[in-house]
Structure 1
Amino acid sequence: MELPFGLPTYDDRMRRVRARMAERGLDGLVVSMPDVVHWLTGVSSVGYLWPQALVIDSGDGEPEYVTRTTEEPGVHMLSWLRAPRVYDIATEDAVEVIADTVRRHGLDQAVVGIELGAFTLLPGNWDRLRALLPGVRWVDATDLVPGERLVKSPAEIAYQRQAAEMADHAMEQVFAAVRPGISETELAGIASHALGAAGSEFAAIPPMVVSGERSAMVHAMASRRTLSRGDVVCVEFAGVVHRYHAVLMRTIVIGEPSARVREVADCVERATEAAIAAAGPGAPAPAPDDACNAVLGELDLVRRRCHRIGYSLGVAYPPGWLEPMTLVEGDPHVLAPGMSFTVEPNLHLPDEGFGIKMGDTVVCEEGGARSLSRLPHSLHVTG
Structure 2
Amino acid sequence: MKRRLIDQALEALVINNPSNINYLTGFDSLGFLCYQALIISPKLADPIFIARTSEESCTWELSCIKHAIFYDISKEEPLRIVAEMLAQAGLSHARIGLEMSTSTFSPLQFQTLCGYLSEAHFEDASLVVAEERLVKSPQEIAYQRSAARMADLGMQAAFAALRPGISEVEVAGIVAQALGKAGSENAAISPMCATGRRSAMTNVMPHRQTISYGDVVVLEHAGVCNRYHATLMRTAVVGKPTLRVREVSTLLAEAFSAAIDVAKPGTSVGEVDRVCNEILDRIDLSRTRVHRIGSSLGLAYPSTWTEAMGEHVFKPNMSFTIEPNLSLYNEGFGIKLGDTVLCGPEGSSSLSTLAPELVIID
Could you say whether these structures have the same fold, taking a TM-score greater than 0.5 normalized by the shorter chain as the test? yes
1:334 alignment partner in structure 2: 313
1:322 aligns with 2:306: yes
Amino acid corresponding to residue 289 of structure 2 in structure 1? R
1:174 alignment partner in structure 2: 158
1:213 alignment partner in structure 2: 197
1:150 alignment partner in structure 2: 134
1:76 alignment partner in structure 2: 60
1:380 aligns with 2:352: no
Deviations 1:141-193 (A, max 9, x none): 11001011111111111110000000001100100000001000000001111
Give the 5 Å matches for 1:207-246.
Answer: 207-246=191-230
1:286 aligns with 2:270: yes
Contact in 2 for aligned 1:57/1:107 (Cα 8 Å):
no
1:270 aligns with 2:249: no
- 2: CA distance, partners of 1:307 / 1:365: 23
Contact in 1 for aligned 2:172/2:206 (Cα 8 Å):
yes
- 1: CA distance, partners of 2:138 / 2:201: 36
- 2: CA distance, partners of 1:105 / 1:381: 63
Deviation of the 1:105 alpha carbon: 2.4
1:351 alignment partner in structure 2: 330
2:293 alignment partner in structure 1: 309
| Percent of residue pairs identical | 48
Of residues 23, 39, 51, the one that matches 2:23 is 39
Give the 5 Å matches for 1:197-208.
Answer: 197-208=181-192
Deviation of the 1:101 alpha carbon: 1.8
Task: Give the secondary-structure state (helix, strand or coil) at the position aligned to 2:360.
Answer: strand
2:178 alignment partner in structure 1: 194
Task: Give the secondary-structure state (helix, strand or coil) at the position aligned to 2:309.
Answer: strand
1:102 alignment partner in structure 2: 86
1:361 aligns with 2:345: no
Provide TM-score, normalisation by structure 1.
0.93
- 2: CA distance, partners of 1:99 / 1:32: 14
Amino acid corresponding to residue 103 of structure 2 in structure 1? F
- 1: CA distance, partners of 2:44 / 2:99: 22
- 2: CA distance, partners of 1:169 / 1:381: 18
- 2: CA distance, partners of 1:93 / 1:185: 41
- 2: CA distance, partners of 1:93 / 1:377: 51
- 2: CA distance, partners of 1:63 / 1:191: 39
- 2: CA distance, partners of 1:235 / 1:303: 21
Contact in 1 for aligned 2:234/2:337 (Cα 8 Å):
yes
Contact in 1 for aligned 2:269/2:294 (Cα 8 Å):
no
Give the 5 Å matches for 1:7-26.
Answer: 17-26=1-10
Deviation of the 1:106 alpha carbon: 2.2
Contact in 2 for aligned 1:340/1:364 (Cα 8 Å):
yes
Amino acid corresponding to residue 250 of structure 1 in structure 2? R
Deviation of the 1:57 alpha carbon: 1.2
- 2: CA distance, partners of 1:102 / 1:53: 12
1:163 aligns with 2:147: yes
1:58 aligns with 2:42: yes
Provide TM-score, normalisation by structure 2.
0.98
- 1: CA distance, partners of 2:330 / 2:283: 16
Give every structure 1 segment of 4 or more consecutive aligned residues whose post-TM-superposition deviation is greater than 4 Å: none
- 2: CA distance, partners of 1:125 / 1:309: 33
Contact in 2 for aligned 1:266/1:379 (Cα 8 Å):
yes
- 2: CA distance, partners of 1:180 / 1:310: 35
- 2: CA distance, partners of 1:235 / 1:79: 35
Deviations 1:239-281 (A, max 9, x none): 0111111000000100111111011110111011000001011
Report the number of matched residues: 362
1:139 alignment partner in structure 2: 123
Deviations 1:281-310 (A, max 9, x none): 111121221111111011111111112124
Amino acid corresponding to residue 212 of structure 1 in structure 2? G
Task: Give the secondary-structure state (helix, strand or coil) at the position aligned to 1:311.
Answer: coil
CA root-mean-square deviation: 1.1
Deviation of the 1:325 alpha carbon: 3.4
1:116 alignment partner in structure 2: 100
